[in-house]
Amino acid sequence: MMQKRKEPNPYAPAPGEVSGEAKRAGFKLAPEQAVALAQYITLLLKWNRAMNLVGRADWPGVFRDLAADSLHLAEFLKGLAVPPQPLTLDLGAGAGLPGIPLRVLWPEGDYVLVEVREKRAIFLAQTVAAMKLARTFVQHGRAEVALAGLAGLGLLQPRERADLVLSRAFMPWPKLLPLAAELLAPGGRLVVLANEPPPVEQSAELGAGLLLEAAQEYPADGRSRYFWSLAPARP
């Protein structure tokens, strides 16, 4: 008698199943990374039943459509000229995508998930605590005042500006650029996760004194997405 093939749990992936999805996307996870990503997706889908954090309701769909961005982003960030131990602001962190999976794969420096919606900020804070993500903080409030709240997060060292600002579907990029320019240190970088290629060639100014430094196309759930890296123009 043939054994019925076991179907994956739509809400709680096993680490091996997450490793398999990552491998299909072209990445090899360390065992502890697979465990952490499985834990995050399980928490996300558990909270999603009450809060509608993500549109997808099954973990393979969430991984392929949303979490896989973080695997590509971790590799992209390694190629940018950011200082050691950077301060990163993740604007409009929402359900923690790309930020929480990114911290599993790229644990560099201090990382602040900035979210104005209270319920989502609570989800982020509880998830960061449950996963014991080092040097990862949640700032409940508006992005415009994110830097002012760093002391309350335990980031006691004086940091007037961020080394890296990340934005995924936070606001339209023409409105984002002036805000990011105010938050960035002179040698900092803004990275935009977009569904379209940048509208200018490399080294051209997009606005607010920010130049397009690099762009990368990558596949996600059968479609093309893009990273844009922008840096302040040198005076």
Task: Tell me if 158 is assigned to some domain.
Answer: yes
Task: Tell me if 23 is assigned to some domain.
Answer: no
Task: Tell me if 75 is assigned to some domain.
Answer: yes
CATH code assigned at 188 = 3.40.50.150
pLDDT at 159 (0 to 100): 64
58-103 pLDDT, tens digit each = 899 899 988 999 999 999 999 999 999 999 999 999 999 999 999 9
CB atoms within 10 A of CB 229: 24
Q: Using CA atoms, how far apart are residues 177 and 13, in angstroms rounded to an integer?
A: 38
Task: Tell me if 8 is assigned to some domain.
Answer: no
Q: Using CA atoms, how far apart are residues 99 and 82, in angstroms rounded to an integer?
A: 17
Residue type, 37: L
Lookup: tokens for 199: 């509208």
Give me the number of domains the chain comprises.
1
pTM for the structure as a whole: 0.92
Which of 61, 65, 64, 74 minimizes the C-alpha distance to 100?
74
Indicate the SS3 state at residue 171: coil
For residue 146, what pLDDT band results from cuts at 50, 70 and 90? confident
Report the sign of the C-alpha dihedral through residues 70, 48, 167, 195, in that order. positive
Task: Tell me if 160 is assigned to some domain.
Answer: yes
Task: Tell me if 181 is assigned to some domain.
Answer: yes
Domain, as residue range, for 161: 68-232
Q: Using CA atoms, how far apart are residues 32 and 147, in angstroms rounded to an integer?
A: 32
Indicate the SS3 state at residue 137: strand
Task: Tell me if 184 is assigned to some domain.
Answer: yes
Q: Using CA atoms, how far apart are residues 199 and 201, in angstroms rounded to an integer?
A: 7
Task: Tell me if 3 is assigned to some domain.
Answer: no
For residue 158, what pLDDT band results from cuts at 50, 70 and 90? low
pLDDT at 157 (0 to 100): 60
pLDDT at 1 (0 to 100): 45
171-216 pLDDT, tens digit each = 999 999 999 999 999 889 999 999 999 999 989 999 999 999 999 9
Q: Which residues contact 73 (CB under 8 A, 6 or more apart)?
A: 98, 102, 106, 191, 193, 227
